[in-house]
Structure 1
């Protein structure tokens, strides 16, 4: 299944709503939210729109980021099913696997590749 097939029509609004709720649980700043979505730091208006039900932009980068963010959340739920503090705090905690950076910092610095790195790391940890 391609990313374009993953999110279509009204699904885009539902997916971005889930991601915005996830960002709230992760307690991310506006700048961090923009970074994880691949948006310029000046584009705060987009977050307001997403919070008010505007669908996610229909472009490959945004859809791929959405897919990976939801995959990261799924992995965290599987790793920490009974520990909400770890489930929602993991993204903002320093991690030796990322040279002491938080997963959010890694993504901010490395963009889409950082998202892939965090997701791959969680998949490896989960499969041990």
Structure 2
């Protein structure tokens, strides 16, 4: 099997997505509850999913969430300088999407549609859309 084909196997896609998502969670200093909620997992599943030998399956919704959150992270890193890029997602925001709430809270409450809206919003700020 060729490397490119192997990389597209569901187990490999899950492993790469979870590893990248875990790095974002650490960079943003999200709590266990926040990280699990953002990924639409129970806290116990997120604890298991963080381990390299995790063999569980991710739903399409969960993979889309992880991908969009990683995109949000990338946009923030490109748009803002270091301290704000890492704290923006967890700081109260008076912008129209957030109404004074923290983006992480609105993302958890609004699910995938809100996560995608935040990603689109940030892409637009940096001139990508």
CA drift at 1:56 = 6.4
SS at 1:28's partner residue?
coil
| 1:124 paired residue number | 124
Question: CA RMSD of the aligned region, Å?
Answer: 2.1
| 1:90 paired residue number | 88
Q: Give runs of ≥4 in structure 1 deviating > 6 Å.
A: none
TM-score (norm 1): 0.82
| 2:5 paired residue number | none
For residues 7 and 117 of structure 1, do their structure 2 counterparts lie closer, same or farther at Cα, with a shift above 3 Å needed?
farther
Structure 1 residues 41-56: aligned runs within 5 Å: 43-53=42-52, 54=54
Query: Over alpha carbons, which structure has the higher Rg?
Result: 2
Provide structure 1 residue ranges, at least 5 long, that are not aligned to the other structure.
Answer: 1-5
Distance 1:76 1:11 in 2: 24
Q: How many residues align?
A: 119
Relative contact order (alpha carbons < 8 A, sep ≥ 6): 1 or 2 greater? 1
Please say if residues 94 and 101 of structure 1, whose CA atoms lie closer than 8 Å, have aligned partners that are also in contact: yes
